């Protein structure tokens, strides 16, 4: 497999078998791949991952099939093999992958993997050190455990849409499939914990999460507002329900976002724009929340004749946290985003050079001579369907060097 270079990282030597499709599971697997794990993506023959057909937008190379930008977003740093899990020969290939793997990820409906002959007991017998991640829509058990789960349905069922929108009668989905992404993040976090525990026990375990659990897991203060205080949160647009002023404010040629999350910041704001910080209804955060409409009117009245860039400059000068609302294209051309490694370059098999969103983590060796960044810099482009199948089969059957250049495996886990 020419061009697939071994790249070190915190998870160097970890082998992940990715049976997932769509977004939650593939995102979890990509997170581990970004950290240096070798990820082998198992796809259905012919069609592959569902997201290969999700679009537009698609990108059409000069020769060959079109590529989905959706698929490209969540499958970098992976290899691809196609297996029909109802075919005995292909099931034998998966069996060999399981024996060598550290992690297996799946997001079938609960019970599907059992019917295919790879239930948890079988997996544990094949490889006692295997960590399995299972992501479902609403949980693997319980009265609705078998429900199919898609992100927008889970956003609604998990209460998130009731908190998002211009008002209580305007529920809105978050602009990205946040339930899927959160489930992937929680899943990767659980896998890392299980791998760490394996160092102590010598055995793997099953990690389970769901879109429902992931969404409830980020209710934060809205959750305790209900469980502790009995208050049901509702959507209220672009202003914080518990802090004021904190939100989006209109000005002469657009809008800015302002966050006064402390009394000292409120007083700085008042000093800059000539407000009385002790005015009735304004002296404390609790009072300002109760009089939010008046606070918004006060600020927008003062901002009405000020251009956004000038307003941001004034706010920044006096230390008030503030910002603009950028479009996606503006984010990927912003010097600060680029400085954080949030755009990476890869070489795709059919599309050639591409830029993709980069991983959100950076790593540093904090030695006595100062910090040295060790963040992974070279990334693999998302694979074309089945691109690595022949090489993976050769490795499994012949015990040859792995495609990434490291040695073969022993004792049921990657060395």
With bands split at pLDDT 50, 70 and 90, how would you rate the model's confidence at 221? very high
Active site residue 90: no
Does residue 376 surpass a pLDDT of 50? yes
pLDDT of residue 183: 98
pLDDT of residue 64: 66
- What's the CATH fold of domain 15-218+384-398? Rossmann fold (3.40.50)
Instruction: Encode pLDDT of 288-333 as tens digits.
Output: 999 999 999 999 999 999 999 999 999 999 999 999 999 999 999 9
With bands split at pLDDT 50, 70 and 90, how would you rate the model's confidence at 63? low
Average pLDDT, integer, range 187-212 = 98
CA triple 186-189-193, angle to 5 deg: 135
Residue 338 tokens read as 């680029």
Average pLDDT, integer, range 120-143 = 96
Query: Which one, of 237, 258, 242, 243, lies nearest residue 300 by Cα?
Result: 258
pLDDT of residue 408: 44
Q: Where are the domains of the chain?
A: 15-218+384-398, 246-323
Contact of 163 with 216, CB cutoff 8 Å: no
pLDDT of residue 257: 97
Highest mean pLDDT among 63-72, 108-117, 379-388: 379-388
Instruction: Encode pLDDT of 39-57 as tens digits.
Output: 999 999 999 999 999 999 9
Query: Which one, of 341, 410, 411, 405, lies nearest residue 38 by Cα?
Result: 405
Query: Which one, of 327, 342, 335, 245, lies nearest residue 291 by Cα?
Result: 245
pLDDT of residue 328: 96
Residue bearing tokens 């544990």: 124
Does residue 3 surpass a pLDDT of 60? no
User: Considering 18, 34, 180, 388, which one is annotated as catalytic?
Assistant: 180
With bands split at pLDDT 50, 70 and 90, how would you rate the model's confidence at 7? low
Q: What is the pTM of this model?
A: 0.91
Q: Is 131 exposed, middle or buried (0-12, 13-18, 19+ CB in 10 A)?
A: buried
pLDDT of residue 65: 78
* Domain 15-218+384-398 and domain 246-323 have a common topology: no
Domain 246-323 has CATH 3.30.1540.10: yes
With bands split at pLDDT 50, 70 and 90, how would you rate the model's confidence at 61? confident
């Amino acid at each position: 497999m020419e061009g697939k270079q071994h790249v070190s990282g915190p998870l160097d030597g970890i082998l992940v078998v990715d049976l997932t499709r769509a977004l939650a599971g593939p995102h979890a697997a990509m997170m581990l791949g970004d950290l240096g794990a070798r990820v082998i993506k198992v796809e259905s023959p012919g069609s592959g991952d569902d997201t290969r057909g999700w679009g537009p937008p698609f990108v059409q190379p000069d020769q060959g099939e079109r590529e989905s930008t959706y698929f490209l977003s969540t499958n970098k740093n992976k290899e691809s093999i196609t297996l029909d899990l109802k075919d005995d020969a292909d099931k034998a290939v998966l069996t060999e992958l399981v024996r060598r793997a550290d992690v297996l990820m799946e997001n079938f409906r609960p019970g599907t993997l059992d019917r295919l002959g790879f239930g948890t007991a079988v997996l544990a017998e094949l490889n006692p050190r295997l960590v399995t991640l299972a992501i479902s829509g609403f949980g693997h058990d319980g009265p609705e455990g078998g429900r199919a789960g898609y992100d927008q349905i889970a956003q609604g069922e998990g209460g998130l849409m009731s908190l998002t929108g211009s008002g209580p009668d305007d529920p809105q989905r978050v602009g990205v499939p946040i339930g899927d992404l959160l489930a992937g993040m929680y899943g990767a976090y659980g896998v890392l914990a299980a791998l760490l525990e394996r160092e102590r026990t010598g055995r793997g375990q099953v990690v389970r999460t769901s879109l429902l659990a992931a969404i409830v897991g980020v209710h934060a203060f809205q959750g305790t507002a209900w469980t502790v205080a009995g208050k049901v949160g509702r959507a209220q647009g672009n202003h914080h329900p518990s802090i004021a002023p904190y939100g989006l404010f209109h000005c002469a040629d657009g809008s800015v976002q302002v966050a006064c999350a402390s009394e000292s910041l409120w007083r700085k704001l008042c000093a800059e724009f000539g407000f009385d910080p002790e005015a009735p209804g304004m002296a404390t955060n609790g009072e300002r929340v109760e009089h939010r409409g008046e606070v918004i009117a006060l600020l927008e009245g003062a901002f009405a004749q000020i251009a956004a860039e000038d307003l941001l400059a004034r706010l920044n000068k006096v230390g008030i946290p503030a910002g603009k609302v950028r479009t996606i294209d503006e984010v990927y051309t912003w010097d600060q985003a680029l400085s954080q490694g949030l755009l990476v370059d890869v070489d795709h098999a059919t599309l050639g050079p591409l830029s993709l969103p980069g991983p959100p983590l950076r790593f540093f060796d904090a030695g006595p001579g100062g910090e040295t960044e060790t963040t992974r810099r070279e990334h693999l482009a998302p694979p074309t369907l089945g691109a690595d199948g022949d090489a993976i089969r050769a490795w499994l059957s012949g015990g040859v060097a792995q495609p990434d250049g490291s040695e073969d495996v022993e004792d049921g886990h990657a060395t």
